[in-house]
A = this chain, B = another copy of it.
Amino acid sequence: MENPIVKPVGTDVLQLDTPAVVLDLDDLDFNIQNMASFFNDRNKPKLRPYVSVHRSPAIAHKQMSAGGTVGGICVSTLDQAEVFADSGINDILLVNFVITKRKIDRLIALSKRICISVVVETIDNLNSLSDAFSSNGVSIDVFMLINSGGEFGCLPDERSIDLAQAIDSASSVNFKGIVGFYEGFSSYFPIDDFEEHKKNVCKIVEVKTKIEQKGIEIAEFCIGSTFDYEWAASINGVTQILAGSYALMDSNLARLESKFVPAARVLGTVTGTPEKNIVITDSGQKSIGADVGVAIVSDWQGLTLSSLSAEHGTVLVEDSCIKYPKIKDKIWVVPWDIGGCLNSHDYINGVRGGKLEVVWEIAARGNYR
């Protein structure tokens, strides 16, 4: 696993071994305070930070301390839930399906330690959970996951109403409410689909109304992400916004959302200047990630990251570039998808005023199961 090559506190950021993932702590604090104040100023909805973007307990605790939250977080895998539970967070929503017996056993074990809730999309899965929790004499909070244009979840049609009724009457299962799946929107869709996104979300609101008309209470209605939290917060009945990317940001979100700053970047070193208009850096796919788009060179006019091999980046230099990069120069890149980038790193360097302040473990990195 990653060797953090820990440097003394106070080390100049440009003296870190590269490639390094660097988090500007002032920018992080700005983003967290900015989002917290939006939610602190209102009764409802509240924020439930989606921490699977950064997977770092230290950052999650900062998000929780800033206020405006429901008092809990959400995660994408059972592994992540276990790590964050061990970090002292007692209210976790797992936005994923727990299907196999082995994982249901782990969910039961975790439910004895903290308040864990989970989503379901099928009656079959609901019945598996209900049977297993009943046999163990415990219960679980369950949300139904409704698909608002993402890859998975129950479609917002009659099946959703059947599922709601099934959850409502299942034993050892507490029907908590609805989670609208939106993840695909903020990560992958172009900005001009926002109207389409709104329409999709409205379909979920309609289904919620139909379920309530059957006499079933929807205590919690969770929807919205960093990109659409303001709009989502204006929807009647929404109680929780599951935003997380706002804390670190990335090139993709910065393109769509201007109220937060890219706090996390990858620092690289120029290792080659093979020909005119091309420089090579030591930061490639393994350290930046390239699963969605190509990262953007920041703080240096006239440079464009054009491609990434496993270990190296190729940067194009415009003729108009005033300061031509030399060997050993440092290059900052804002990853397109910070979640994908951090998936490769076990540690993140926290700096303030250009000096190293802390090295945080990305404790839930690699926790896919």
User: Interface residues, chain A, CB within 8 Å of chain B?
Assistant: 1-3, 5, 15, 17-20, 52, 76-77, 79, 82-83, 96-97, 99-100, 102-103, 121-122, 124-125, 147, 150-155, 183-184, 187-188, 269, 271-272, 274-275, 280, 282-283, 285-287, 289-291, 307-312, 314, 327-328, 339-340, 343-346, 362-363, 365-369
List, in ascending order, chain B residues with CB within 8 A of A362's CB.
1
Q: A76-B310, A155-B274 are in contact. Are A365 and B290 (CB under 8 A)?
A: no
Nearest-neighbour CB distance to chain B for A245, whole angstroms, equals: 11
Partner of A121, one of B19, B121, B272, B345: B272
**Do the beta carbons of A122 and B327 come within 8 Å of each other?**
yes
**Do the beta carbons of A183 and B17 come within 8 Å of each other?**
no
Partner of A151, one of B2, B124, B309, B367: B309
CA distance A100 to B187 in the complex (A): 36
Q: A2-B367, A122-B327, A310-B187 are in contact. Are A100 and B269 (CB under 8 A)?
A: yes
List, in ascending order, chain B residues with CB within 8 A of A124's CB.
327
CA distance A365 to B366 in the complex (A): 11
**Do the beta carbons of A312 and B151 come within 8 Å of each other?**
yes
Partner of A96, one of B311, B339, B346: B311
**Do the beta carbons of B311 and A77 come within 8 Å of each other?**
yes
**Do the beta carbons of A97 and B272 come within 8 Å of each other?**
yes
Partner of A309, one of B183, B289, B345, B363: B183
**Do the beta carbons of B285 and A291 come within 8 Å of each other?**
yes
Q: A1-B365, A3-B367, A346-B1 are in contact. Are A271 and B99 (CB under 8 A)?
A: yes
Least CB separation from A125: chain B residue: B327
**Do the beta carbons of A152 and B272 come within 8 Å of each other?**
yes
CA distance A76 to B287 in the complex (A): 13
**Do the beta carbons of A3 and B369 come within 8 Å of each other?**
yes
Nearest-neighbour CB distance to chain B for A294, whole angstroms, equals: 11
Q: A311-B77, A363-B1 are in contact. Are A274 and B368 (CB under 8 A)?
A: no
CA distance A229 to B20 in the complex (A): 34
Q: A122-B327, A275-B155, A310-B183 are in contact. Are A102 and B1 (CB under 8 A)?
A: no
List, in ascending order, chain B residues with CB within 8 A of A152's CB.
271-272, 274, 280, 312
Nearest-neighbour CB distance to chain B for A333, whole angstroms, equals: 13
Known: A1-B363, A52-B311, A290-B291. 14 other contacts (CB 8 A): A1-B366, A3-B79, A17-B102, A97-B271, A99-B269, A99-B271, A122-B272, A152-B272, A152-B280, A155-B275, A183-B310, A187-B310, A344-B366, A346-B366
**Do the beta carbons of A274 and B121 come within 8 Å of each other?**
yes
CA distance A125 to B213 in the complex (A): 74
CA distance A257 to B311 in the complex (A): 24
Least CB separation from A18: chain B residue: B369
Q: A1-B1, A291-B290, A309-B183 are in contact. Are A328 and B18 (CB under 8 A)?
A: no
Nearest-neighbour CB distance to chain B for A142, whole angstroms, equals: 16
